[in-house]
Amino acid sequence: MGFGTKNAVKTQKQNTLCNGVGFLFSRFKKLFRRKNNPIFSSTFLTHQPWPRIYVRLCMCIYSQFQTLEAFVLNQKKCLQYDEAMDALSSLITKRSRADKKNKGDRFDLLFDYVKILELEEQIKEMKIIHVAGTKGKGSTCTFAESILRNCGFRTGLFTSPHLIDVRERFRLDGLEIPEDKTSDEIPMPTYFRFLALLAFKIFAAEQVDVVILEVGLGGKFDATNVVEKPIVCGIASLGYDHMEILGNTLGQIAGEKAGIFKSGVPAFTVPQPEEAMMVLEQKASQLDVNLQVVDPLDPSLLSGLHLGLEGDHQYLNASLAIALCSTWLHKSGHVGINYLNQTTSIPEEFIRGLATASLQGRAQIVSDQFIESESSGDLVFYLDGAHSPESMEVCAKWFCLATKEDCKSSYNQSYCDSERLHESEKSGPFRKHSTQALFVPNTSVYYKVGAVDSPSVDTQIDVSWQITLQKLWESLIHGEKGREVKNADLTCEAIVEDTEKSSNCENSTVFTSLPLAINWLRDNVRRNQSVRFQVLVTGSLHLVGDVLRLIKK
């Protein structure tokens, strides 16, 4: 069965993309030189990093598609990439995310930026799949992109956050792209908005057949919601997250997510809590949106293959992706058959797409190459960016299933760095299958967008919150062992002389930095080469990204 006629073979379009990026720069540069622009009767903006952001990012944007010789010739240009990343980092706003003042007005500025960059018509012509949600929206987008790419279409995927390098947020045909003063009325685009605008320009320049957009935060006021008429919308599983911005109830959160609904545009979701589902249905009814609920995918339909993303929860995300893709195909005029109601089979291209999908930091298993290269020890990291009580429970089940053959003899670790884990630590699976818990401060280098930076080894840092989590962990462990909880503190000791640790307990340790914790793990592997060390890294995608930076250096 054929879905599309577009060539799936990669072509080198460095000039095309660079021209597109250069176009963005030239448009802003032109406005810099004016005291008054034709759209706004006020001074626009003067922000010196823009030229470096656009021009130097352009220089390395497609380096991975070039030959080795071409890369060597362009090495001098690519050395300037770090400076471009420094400039891009400077766009990250210092304003609190919880600042709700004039949120609607700030969102409206996006349409002004789109007009300035002459992207209005190009965005209208894009055939877009738009996905929001609390948990699973990234996985759903990844499945959808892989399905449609395997159907022969040119795909553009925009997701967030990145783990190691900002270029991870943009995928063309499944491949990641390789390389403060404002006026009172027209502020500089913030970091995420800049990236969203850049994504639209990249996808327009590449003339992709389909664009899959993952909402960054919420939905209604998200930068991706500048799209006025997508082909189809999706809402993944909802839960409590970013409550300081989206609201304190599931109903309020669902209302923000439903902000991506557009009049007459079909939408799909998964089974939701009653309060959230009620709001989604109300919003859909108000906008004449045909909202349908999908059930988890039957594994038997995969013809013996497995999903490319690990975890039983992915069958629900896969089902949502199938619904979005089949609707996109149907409404785009590529097939005459709708696969939504098929329960006995799904197309071969869909199966191949689901089986080959990949996404870093979600149920990902990575061996430590450093240890493998220097000793016979075995150090394996289990990475999952779960950061809500619901996703932590799913993560715990995945980890226990993934390590079930070695649970009794393995040496498992649990990294925790967020307040969200305060309740999640009570999860039975974590306690039952963890020999030792390591706690590190949340000093991520996430807000430095280049690919070369690693977390700091600063030992002069406040770890009071990590010690609080440690005491909670010890209390839970001791309670299971029948000991008095009040005696848990007595087993911990403050460490003054050892600069690597701040507090050492019977079942846990606090480290002042992530690199020190990794080094401690490697030292233990060297001393115990007959033991398989299995390390669960969870609590934050930023933390997962930092671990990947360290073990992949």
Specify the pairing of strand 291-293 against strand 267-269: parallel
Least confident interval from 58-67, 132-141, 318-327, 483-492: 58-67
Binning pLDDT at 50, 70 and 90, where does residue 84 land? low
Least confident interval from 335-339, 428-432, 468-472: 428-432
Residue 60: closest CA among 88, 40, 39: 88
Encode pLDDT of 26-48 as tens digits: 555 455 444 344 443 333 333 33
According to the model, what pLDDT value does residue 231 have? Answer: 97
According to the model, what pLDDT value does residue 5 have? Answer: 45
Q: Assess whether pLDDT exceeds 70 at residue 446.
A: no
Whole-number percent of the chain with pLDDT over 70: 64
Q: Assess whether pLDDT exceeds 50 at residue 550.
A: yes
At residue 158, φ and ψ (nearest 5 deg) are -120, 115
According to the model, what pLDDT value does residue 444 have? Answer: 63
**Rounded CA gap, 535 and 395, in Å?**
13
Whole-number percent of the chain with pLDDT over 90: 31
Encode pLDDT of 342-384 as tens digits: 567 899 999 999 999 999 988 899 999 888 777 777 899 999 9
Q: Assess whether pLDDT exceeds 90 at residue 57.
A: no
Average pLDDT over residues 120-140: 94
Average pLDDT over residues 530-544: 87
Residue 384: closest CA among 373, 375, 392: 392
Least confident interval from 251-260, 288-297, 459-468, 475-484: 475-484
**Rounded CA gap, 214 and 211, in Å?**
10
Average pLDDT over residues 294-304: 94
The residue ranking higher by pLDDT, 345 or 324, is 324
- The overall average pLDDT reported for the chain is 74
The residue ranking higher by pLDDT, 456 or 117, is 117
What pTM was computed for the model? 0.77
Q: Assess whether pLDDT exceeds 70 at residue 3.
A: no
Name residues whose C-beta falls within 8 Å of residue 197's C-beta, 6 or more positions apart in sequence.
24, 113, 114, 117, 119, 189, 223
Burial class (CB in 10 A: 0-12, 13-18, 19+), 38: exposed
**Rounded CA gap, 100 and 102, in Å?**
6
Specify the pairing of strand 437-439 against strand 378-383: unpaired
According to the model, what pLDDT value does residue 38 have? Answer: 42
The residue ranking higher by pLDDT, 429 or 479, is 479
According to the model, what pLDDT value does residue 382 have? Answer: 93
Q: Assess whether pLDDT exceeds 70 at residue 217.
A: yes
Q: Assess whether pLDDT exceeds 90 at residue 116.
A: no
188 DSSP 8-state letter: P
The single-letter code of the amino acid at 287 is L
According to the model, what pLDDT value does residue 340 have? Answer: 62
Binning pLDDT at 50, 70 and 90, where does residue 151 land? very high
Structure-token pair, residue 195: 């990236």
Q: Assess whether pLDDT exceeds 90 at residue 469.
A: no
According to the model, what pLDDT value does residue 505 have? Answer: 81
What is the secondary structure of 50-62 as a DSSP string?
Answer: HHHHHHHHHHHTT
Least confident interval from 154-168, 269-283, 297-311: 154-168
Average pLDDT over residues 323-329: 95
Q: Where are the domains of the chain?
A: 104-356, 364-552
According to the model, what pLDDT value does residue 82 have? Answer: 59
Least confident interval from 83-87, 219-223, 317-321: 83-87
Name residues whose C-beta falls within 8 Å of residue 63's C-beta, 6 or more positions apart in sequence.
71, 74, 78, 178, 179
According to the model, what pLDDT value does residue 531 have? Answer: 85
Structure-token pair, residue 130: 């738009």
Binning pLDDT at 50, 70 and 90, where does residue 172 land? very high
338 DSSP 8-state letter: -
3-class DSSP state for residue 335?
coil
Binning pLDDT at 50, 70 and 90, where does residue 81 land? low
Please state, in angstroms and as integers, the Cα–Cα distance from residue 495 to each residue in 237, 471, 498, 514, following that order: 43, 15, 6, 17
Residue 312: closest CA among 297, 327, 325, 322: 297
According to the model, what pLDDT value does residue 299 have? Answer: 94
The neighbour count for residue 498, using CB atoms within 10 Å, is 10
The residue ranking higher by pLDDT, 296 or 507, is 296
According to the model, what pLDDT value does residue 25 have? Answer: 46
Please state, in angstroms and as integers, the Cα–Cα distance from residue 325 to each residue in 37, 131, 141, 151, 287, following that order: 42, 12, 10, 10, 22
According to the model, what pLDDT value does residue 315 have? Answer: 96
According to the model, what pLDDT value does residue 61 have? Answer: 38
Binning pLDDT at 50, 70 and 90, where does residue 140 land? very high
Q: Assess whether pLDDT exceeds 50 at residue 72.
A: no
Residue 129: closest CA among 59, 56, 231: 231
According to the model, what pLDDT value does residue 100 have? Answer: 55
At residue 194, φ and ψ (nearest 5 deg) are -60, -45
- In CATH terms, are 104-356 and 364-552 the same topology? no
Burial class (CB in 10 A: 0-12, 13-18, 19+), 279: buried
Q: Assess whether pLDDT exceeds 50 at residue 419.
A: no
Binning pLDDT at 50, 70 and 90, where does residue 463 land? confident
Residue 65: closest CA among 192, 209, 167, 204: 167
Q: Which CATH architecture has domain 104-356?
A: 3-Layer(aba) Sandwich (3.40)
According to the model, what pLDDT value does residue 4 have? Answer: 55
According to the model, what pLDDT value does residue 418 have? Answer: 42
Q: Assess whether pLDDT exceeds 90 at residue 11.
A: no
Check whether domain 364-552 has CATH 3.90.190.20, yes or no: yes
